[in-house]
Amino acid sequence: MSDKILIFGHRNPDTDTICSAIVKQILNEKSGNNDVKAVRLGNVNKETEYVLNYIGIEAPELIEEVSEGQEVIMVDHNEFDQSVGGIDNAKIIEVIDHHRISNFETAEPLYYTARPYGCTSTILYGEFKEKNINIDKKEATLMASAIISDTLLLKSPTTTEYDRKALTELADIAGININEYGLDMLKAGTDLDDFTEEELVNLDSKKFEKDGVKCVIAQVNTVSIDDVLKREKKLKEAMQNEINKNDLDVCILAITDILNSNSELIVLGERSDVIEKSHHLENDRVFLEGVVSRKKQLLPLVESNI
């Protein structure tokens, strides 16, 4: 068991989870509570790596589980099934989060600060202000990066006035140009160069069947659809392999521009009419303005055309 209070965000950590854990450690230390240590529950993604490299700090230590009675602070999550192994027997002394509350309970009273903001770091920013604690360049950059990431440069519908206000002041302290730095950071996170076409088609792929029609909708996020389309020929080969291997009726790859909130679809297979019935395909592709969500936008469209 660590004799320090461990601070961590959710599994499959994103930039808010990693940055908020590090910032919470700094906030507690500046408040005179030094017995805290930020850790992480999974690999750092490329976007977060960009942030840590920019500042010049190491990623927090990786842990898999905690001992019974371990004191912990949870940031950016509360649901036990998104948390560290052993969380149900840990002593949760504080939670800072911006998600709904579910699958969470404690035996004792605790500190719990939830706000319906776009980002956990926006809540932490508020705590620095309330406690009148100075925000230095390092934590300003971490919090600004988290806000840019969670709100997609303030463009996500989850963005609140609190996120806007926090980001403006934090970027000032950090000395960053929000759009320049933000674009570079988000681009780093959508760097697909290291992945083969087959990996791209399987990175985030959802299979489902309706009325005997076997479908796959895969999705990759990018800041430049054109960049991804440079690999169109090989992507189509990889998609065709998936169709042959899994006996699919249709395979859809959504290349989603996370900055402009649009998607370009590549649609292959005998039942490509599940898209064609609504949107004319040209060269197996179509550009769908305003479409970013597989669950809320693409899936209902495909299902209505089966």
Which one among 34, 89, 102, 304 touches a second copy, defined by CB under 8 A?
A: 102
Does position 77 bind a second copy by CB under 8 A?
A: no
Does position 100 bind a second copy by CB under 8 A?
A: yes
Does position 98 bind a second copy by CB under 8 A?
A: yes
Which one among 43, 89, 106, 278 touches a second copy, defined by CB under 8 A?
A: 106
Does position 233 bind a second copy by CB under 8 A?
A: no
Residue 214, C-beta contacts closer than 8 angstroms, at least 6 positions apart = 207, 246, 247, 248, 249, 250
- Between helix 178-189 and helix 137-151 the angle, nearest 10°, is 60
Distance from C-alpha of 67 to C-alpha of 90, rounded to nearest angstrom = 7
**CB closer to a second copy out of 106 and 196:** 106
**Four-residue CA torsion sign, 120, 122, 125, 127:** negative
Distance from C-alpha of 18 to C-alpha of 29, rounded to nearest angstrom = 17
Provide the token pair at 109.
Answer: 């009273």
**CB closer to a second copy out of 130 and 282:** 130
Distance from C-alpha of 18 to C-alpha of 7, rounded to nearest angstrom = 10
**CB closer to a second copy out of 110 and 203:** 110
**Strand 262-268 relative to strand 250-257, pairing:** antiparallel
Which one among 1, 81, 111, 199 touches a second copy, defined by CB under 8 A?
A: 111
- Minimum CB separation from a second copy for residue 80, in Å? 12
- Minimum CB separation from a second copy for residue 97, in Å? 8
Q: What element of type H or E holds 112?
A: strand 111-114
Does position 116 bind a second copy by CB under 8 A?
A: yes
> What x/- string results for residues 117 through 156 when contact with a second copy is judged by CB under 8 A?
-------------x--------------------------
How many residues in the shown chain lie near a second copy by CB under 8 A?
Answer: 20
